[in-house]
Amino acid sequence: MDFALELNGEQRALKETLREFAEAEIAPHAAEWDRSGTFPAPTIRKLGELGVMGLPFPEAYGGVGAGLISFALALEELARVDSSVAITVAASVSLGGAPILAFGTEAQKQRWLVPLARGETIGAFASTEPGMGSDVQGLSTSARQDGDGWILNGTKAYITNAGTELSSFVTTTAVTGERGPGRAEVSTFIVPVDAQGFAPQRPYEKMGWHASDTRELVYQDCRVPADAPLAERGAGARVFLATLDTGRIGVAAMGVGLAQGCLEHSVRWANERCAFGHPIAKYQAVSFELAELKARIDAARALVFRAAALRDAGHKVTEQAAAAKLMASELAVHAANVAMQVHGGYGYMEESAIPRYYRDAKILTIGEGTSEILKLVIAREMGLAV
């Protein structure tokens, strides 16, 4: 088993490039984007020029062909300074581009994947509805055939990347019939953002991820053409589950990056801040907490790399991706809490970066499978009769 976890030259270079880019072009603006809810489109375009928006996609489709380990490294570096930028990239690549690469026709890949991989556009995936998130069989958005096209009706909730100036399409799950008593036939459709009857609503007011675009989407007699279905009719659940496996590796990498950012802020502060005549790092209550955090970050990162390496080698990673996301997202919440405690009163001030990390961490335990659903997935893979 090759599990040295030694980055190769290309991966090291990518990590360094993104560290520099994140420090120079993102970190100085992150607080302001967060405060004003500004979607940083020019930064996303620049990440496209660096190849980040197409890292795991083949060169033939505008990508870099670098694999999921590189993608995880990139997301870690971005989330280390700004989770909103990281989730914009993660959602476009994992939820927007990856299903088109895996299930799209050649024409769909050329039309939707190539500009996305170059960072000229971003993509979205809409499964969640106002009445349903974890229970994907509870879908109520419908699609019916009409002439040579399809008509969609329904509402999607909490969808990332659907309403920005870069947004180009939203892959949408919809019921197209019945598979048997009480079992919906679910299909997926690539809905262009300029489709007739498609209406992204105003951005939500969220607890965190303020610079990431999240909206409710209304489909009212939304007409899409004959080439809109992604994969064959009834394959929606398969498309969705495959999308989640890679998506969860990305969210897990974001958890590692956010925790790493919290750790670095805390180490700096612990060495600078004095109490009772010494830097607070001198007190083991502080230094042991940070030492343990470092060990837990290393463990979560190893889980992310394991899932990414297995996926790159073509293996099914349902359990490994769920485990990586479960551990890394819960760790991110813990790390933000530790960072705030170590910073004391200053950590509660918006002037420090800590409240932003704190607000951005929690969603990682909810999106793309809550922690409870991830445990359900792992339990099933273990053969438990859940």
Residues within the interface to ligand FAD (CB under 6 A): 91, 95, 124-128, 132-134, 158-160, 206, 209, 214, 363, 366-368, 370, 372-373, 376
> Residue 282 Cβ, how far from ligand FAD at the closest point, in Å?
40
**Residue 40: CB minimum distance to ligand FAD, A:** 17
CB of 13 to ligand FAD, least distance (A): 31
- Which residue's Cβ lies closest to ligand FAD? 133
The 3-state DSSP class for residue 305 equals helix
Q: How far apart are the first and last CA of the chain?
A: 32
Rounded least distance, CB 86 to ligand FAD, Å: 13
How far is 110 from 22, CA to CA, in rounded Å? 30
Q: Tokens for 386?
A: 């859940």
Cβ proximity of 69 and 309 under 8 Å? yes
Q: What are the start-end ranges of the H helices in the chain?
A: 9-21, 27-36, 41-49, 68-81, 83-90, 98-103, 106-108, 114-117, 236-272, 284-312, 318-347, 354-361, 371-381
Q: Taking a C-beta distance cutoff of 8 angstroms, is the pair 262, 335 a contact?
A: yes
* C-alpha span between 257 and 79 (Å, rounded): 5
Cα gap 321→252, rounded to integer Å: 8
HSE-CB of 371 using CA atoms within 13 angstroms: 13
C-alpha 196: how far from chain center: 28
3-state DSSP call for residue 220? strand
| Active-site pick, 76, 77, 216, 368 | 368
Nearer to ligand FAD, 159 or 249 (CB): 159
Rg for the chain, CA atoms, rounded: 21
Q: How far is the CB of 377 from ligand FAD (least distance, A)?
A: 11
For ligand FAD, the closer of residues 164 and 214 by Cβ is: 214
- Quote the CA–CA distance of 99 and 239 in Å, as a whole number: 7
What is the smallest separation between the CB atom of 134 and ligand FAD, expressed in angstroms? 3
- Strand bridging mode 229-230 / 183-192: antiparallel
| Nearby residues of 243 by Cβ (< 8 Å), 6 or more positions away | 94, 95, 98, 99, 102, 125
Least distance from C-beta 180 to ligand FAD, angstroms? 21
Nearer to ligand FAD, 210 or 301 (CB): 210
From the list 163, 185, 171, the residue with the least C-alpha distance to 230 is 171
Q: Annotated catalytic, 368?
A: yes
* Least distance in angstroms from the C-beta of 374 to ligand FAD: 9
- Give Dmax over CA atoms of the chain in angstroms: 79
Minimum CB distance to ligand FAD smaller for 21 or for 169: 169
Give CA–CA dist 23/29, Å, rounded: 10
Query: Which CB, 31 or 366, lies closer to ligand FAD?
Result: 366
Q: Toward ligand FAD, which CB reaches closer, 306 or 356? A: 356
Q: Which residues are catalytic?
A: 368
